[in-house]
Amino acid sequence: MVLKVNNLVLRTLRRQWGGLSMMNRGLSASRVDYGKSLVYEGYGEPIEVLKLKNTEDLKPGTNEVAVRWILSPVNPADINSIQGKYPTKPKLPAVGGNEGVGEVIDVGSGVKTVRVGDRVVPNGNNLGTWSTRGVYPAQGVMKIPESFTDVEASMLNVNPCTAYRMLKDFVPLCPGDTIIQNGGNSAVGQLVIQLCRAWGLNSVSVVRDREDIGDLKDHLKCLGATEVLTETEVRTTDLFKSKRLNPPKLAFNCVCGESALNILRHLAQDGLIVTYGAMAREPLTIPASALIFKNITAKGFWMTSWVKSHSDSQERWEMLDDLGNLFASKKLQAPPHKIIPLDEYQEAAKNTLQRDGKTGIKYILRLS
């Protein structure tokens, strides 16, 4: 069934493109082309509220661009947005997806920042990338360096940039310094490991106990992890007291609850813990002794907020160039992923937020 809505709502849906090729457009003045988009009209569990619908193909306005989306990952933040639990909420009805890579296929007469044929990624959140095509404000997308593959570019905005900024922005680190993190097998965690290896830093990653722990430890150590500990092992390890590694100056927390407390206890004097997620859905608890006697500091990080304050900064472009070079030289690699067709989205919607933490797969929607 075709989604029939007025132009105002179509704009709310990011005016999704689709349907027949541009070569066939204009053969009939009355002809309407359609694309496909994953639309939700109310908040709830994605498997229940997401619907794959046909959406009308529209021309870009003066300061707009039309994008043919190629790949778009499914992130925990995307699922939280659909559930209505994320800090930023798009107007409904909305198209899902905050990340992706696409090709510019048409531009308005006033657009100077990109050209037809450029590969682009979103330049903000709630753009609506789970779609075959879309029309967006020109400032809503940005051209990316050619050094990224489509898979790398599709997940560029969140995970690699989060890992990069957390290592760069909080504590001055020198080769030989140590960081500790939980969620070591998460997408961000694996990129932190690889960046630490590239920059000569020691990384200690904590992961959940599991039956195949040997295979997981081997995988993370192949990426460059100095040590990998389970949640049980990190409670009693003498890794730092024995001087085998310097106590970590910096900790990254994406779990909270007891897991965060366990890594916080190993921080060096004047150390800092950065929280960027709460997978356990439990509060972050810091003992008074850590604040009083070790002068531990706790801060948070949200990549969306950083981009808002650095959207056109030289620092951002330098980061993207740096990441592109690291991927091109194979010092960074994309986390394990599975590419699925758009019409098989239910698998990704169901599994992306699995609480057992054992899936280890990032789902990417193939859009064209």
Task: Look at residues 50, 15, 156 and name the one whose alpha carbon lies nearest to residue 98.
Answer: 156
- What pLDDT band is residue 15 in, cutting at 50, 70 and 90? very low
The greatest distance separating any two alpha carbons of the chain, rounded to the nearest whole angstrom, comes to 77
Q: Are residues 164 and 298 both part of a single domain?
A: yes
pLDDT surpassing 50 at residue 357: no
Give helix 314-328 / helix 187-198 axis angle, nearest 10°. 80
165 contact partners, CB below 8 Å, separation of at least 6: 301, 303, 306, 319
Alpha-carbon distance values, 15 to 51, 126, 197 (Å): 16, 13, 43
Q: Are residues 301 and 194 both part of a single domain?
A: yes
Q: Is the omega angle on the peptide bond into residue 93 within 30 degrees of 0, that is, cis?
A: yes
Q: Which domain holds residue 91?
A: 35-157+335-366
Q: Are residues 118 and 235 both part of a single domain?
A: no
**366 strand-pairing partners:** 71, 341
Q: What is the rounded distance in angstroms from the CA atom of residue 361 to the CA atom of residue 357?
A: 10
Task: Look at residues 22, 57, 11, 21 and name the one whose alpha carbon lies nearest to residue 36.
Answer: 57
Handedness of CA 26, 32, 35, 39 (dihedral sign): positive
- Is residue 5 one of the residues assigned to a domain? no
pLDDT surpassing 60 at residue 358: no
How confident is the model over 76-101, as a mean pLDDT? 91
- Is residue 11 one of the residues assigned to a domain? no
Alpha-carbon distance values, 269 to 34, 239, 248, 249, 363 (Å): 60, 16, 9, 8, 39
Render pLDDT for 237-287 as a digit per residue (tens, 0 to 9).
Answer: 999 999 999 999 999 999 999 999 999 999 999 999 999 998 888 999 999
Q: Are residues 153 and 163 both part of a single domain?
A: no
Q: What is the rounded distance in angstroms from the CA atom of residue 121 to the CA atom of residue 297?
A: 34
- Is residue 199 one of the residues assigned to a domain? yes
Q: By the 8 A CB rule, do 67 and 103 touch?
A: yes
**Amino acid 2: pLDDT:** 43
Q: Are residues 170 and 152 both part of a single domain?
A: no
**Amino acid 33: pLDDT:** 62
Report pTM.
0.85
How confident is the model over 161-188, as a mean pLDDT? 96
Q: Are residues 146 and 165 both part of a single domain?
A: no
- Is residue 3 one of the residues assigned to a domain? no
Q: Are residues 135 and 169 both part of a single domain?
A: no
Render pLDDT for 44-84 as a digit per residue (tens, 0 to 9).
Answer: 999 999 999 998 878 999 999 999 999 999 998 899 999 99
Q: What is the rounded distance in angstroms from the CA atom of residue 217 to the CA atom of residue 206?
A: 10
Q: Are residues 89 and 209 both part of a single domain?
A: no
CA dihedral of residues 55, 58, 63, 68 (deg, nearest 10): 60
- Is residue 57 one of the residues assigned to a domain? yes
**Amino acid 150: pLDDT:** 96
Q: Are residues 149 and 238 both part of a single domain?
A: no
Identity at 263, one-letter amino acid code: I
Task: Look at residues 245, 210, 209, 241 and name the one whose alpha carbon lies nearest to residue 225.
Answer: 245
Active-site residues, by number, are 86
Q: What is the total count of domains within the chain? A: 2
Q: Are residues 167 and 153 both part of a single domain?
A: no
**143 strand-pairing partners:** 120
- Is residue 231 one of the residues assigned to a domain? yes
Task: Look at residues 225, 221, 223 and name the one whose alpha carbon lies nearest to residue 179.
Answer: 225
CATH classification at residue 340: 3.90.180.10
- The tokens 């909270």 sit on which residue? 256
